[in-house]
Structure 1
């Protein structure tokens, strides 16, 4: 969106040239008057330029307004009712637009003097701008800022177990959604399974293609988003589809339903769908604030009721539902656990709820069968 701005300006009374000698004497006798004048002079010599990047979480509007108000107060700027309403409208608009575009959007709130030559004595102009980043944009930076292996050195134990049970590798094509750099794709292909790997991030695709070509593996790489209606897959092609650490990037129950419906189309009768997702535990019902924050934290959380609603009238049967942490820790070799330094806290839900106790959510393996 284009920059939006408001100016918070204070107007000083016009100087008088007709004050009497008596009034001047009173000013001299009251040092507070002169001190206040000097403080105004200091204000005119002060300058400020700064920027705050706020996650576009509409439920945080009140907290963000308080944050900006406190900052302005520190800068000697007090909001009147009109100023406050203008500021609220500006931030509300930015948060709403940013959230609609991406859960990874940021609202940039910048501050500068209303008039450069007069410094803070002229008031402050506030500018807002929405910076939009997609999941692919965020992941594109990972090879530069994170240590290898990005997602772990071994494939998911659950993925390999299910794959071993579905049939002869050479005649069993597998769909790997959100393949990343190939943590599951490469080991499956080495066993002889033809794999179609869907991935969004160009940097990951480059790494994946390099490995595929070096080892001459039976993998077809498809760049795209599984939720994109234009991404079509062959009907009844796969015996197994996997989506490890993918649904954590979803945003709505409707997206879960779309995902499941597309899997029903592309899986053979009797085929299996294995995916991991964050589920609310027990009777915990996430409110709107939690939902919005879960999207920002790459930890999209759903309830069992929402999964059931997403599966309604689809030819799917629930086969198993188990803790990812418990299963992977038990079945991965010792040197492979944990897969990364961040994995355990993330899988427990602590990226969303940074608390020492167990958050009311956890990453679960869900196995469904196409009836």
Structure 2
């Protein structure tokens, strides 16, 4: 997963020089020629500076280059071949570096006159830097910018259904991964289940901890990233592990594999793993551009073939695979649907594909059994 800290990485600037001008030896009275000279003078009196913030999606390199070129053209600047190659190198480097660190990294492309006193007549200087932001950083802002309840007022119906079939509540250990502010953790604990709740975002963890302490619930709150190798759980300890709206933040199938392997270690024999994941519809193969954009959109998409490969040789048996929207809409109380204003479009894949028709992906409940 992404680094939790925000860092800045700055590149060397690229200077875009203006065209050379020839001097006239004789007095010129031609209006067209003189107007052109005045336009050049006007450029020296004009100043511009600004910044474009671009998601670090390497597959968008050509589109980003065209965007910058169009902007420079509007400002009366023409790139030489060397200018273009230098600009391409800078943007490529920034996109690759930012994307490697976090899908939420931004490439900031800033521009200003090469020489302030000469304005646009001196050409344009381009600078790039990468602003890195993690999932935790993004979520940390939610309590200030979004209305409660952040993820819904009720627990997931599927979670409560599976938990209700586990047997003796006082001896049943449940692991809630990506617990958030406790939408599933707290209702489970109120029923008597012992819950270990893992949460990455400090603001969510603090709120969950306060609520647990206030109600004296049997919950242990752990701050951490489930994919972090140093985050270890008790072996063969849990009867149920849940990860609701967590795998949508993953980036690679190797992370899915790592997640499943860690769950195999943590679950008892016969224990259950319930998680939601965006699956591509049959016969649809997302390309690199779709994959990268799905990460940026918190909608990481995999195919069933990739999910099967991630499960290969692990002691896991598929119990069920069903639509999250269909199940939750049918089984949640009327007043609880939809959980949030953004939920339905997101779960249908429209955060990634903003179209009126059905996108070729869907959020699915996957239930696995530890054999």
TM-score of the superposed pair, with normalisation by structure 1: 0.97
TM-fit CA distance, 1:80: 1.2
Is 1:41 aligned to residue 41 of structure 2?
Answer: yes
Is 1:161 aligned to residue 196 of structure 2?
Answer: no
2:10 to 2, 12, 21: 2
TM-fit CA distance, 1:191: 0.5
Alpha-carbon distance in structure 2 between the residues aligned to 1:13 and 1:48: 22
CA RMSD of aligned residues (A): 0.9
- Contact 1:256–1:310, Cα closer than 8 Å, also in 2: yes
- Contact 1:270–1:369, Cα closer than 8 Å, also in 2: yes
Is 1:293 aligned to residue 299 of structure 2?
Answer: no
Q: Residue 270 of structure 1 aligns with which residue?
A: 270
Q: Residue 331 of structure 1 aligns with which residue?
A: 331
Residues 1-371 of structure 1 aligned to structure 2 (within 5 Å): 1-13=9-21, 15=23, 19=25, 23-24=26-27, 27-28=28-29, 30-371=30-371
TM-fit CA distance, 1:169: 1.0
Alpha-carbon distance in structure 2 between the residues aligned to 1:117 and 1:169: 75
Could you say what secondary structure the match of 1:4 adopts?
coil
* CA deviation vs aligned residue, 1:13-57 (integer Å, no higher than 9, x gap): 3656xx2xxx31xx20x2111101110111111111100010000
* CA deviation vs aligned residue, 1:260-292 (integer Å, no higher than 9, x gap): 000000000000000000000121000010000
- Contact 1:178–1:200, Cα closer than 8 Å, also in 2: yes
TM-fit CA distance, 1:4: 2.8
Q: Residue 3 of structure 2 aligns with which residue?
A: none
TM-fit CA distance, 1:197: 0.4
Unaligned runs of 5+ in 1: none
TM-fit CA distance, 1:11: 4.8
- Contact 2:178–2:200, Cα closer than 8 Å, also in 1: yes
- Contact 1:4–1:129, Cα closer than 8 Å, also in 2: no
Could you say what secondary structure the match of 1:165 adopts?
coil
TM-fit CA distance, 1:9: 1.2
- Contact 1:7–1:124, Cα closer than 8 Å, also in 2: yes
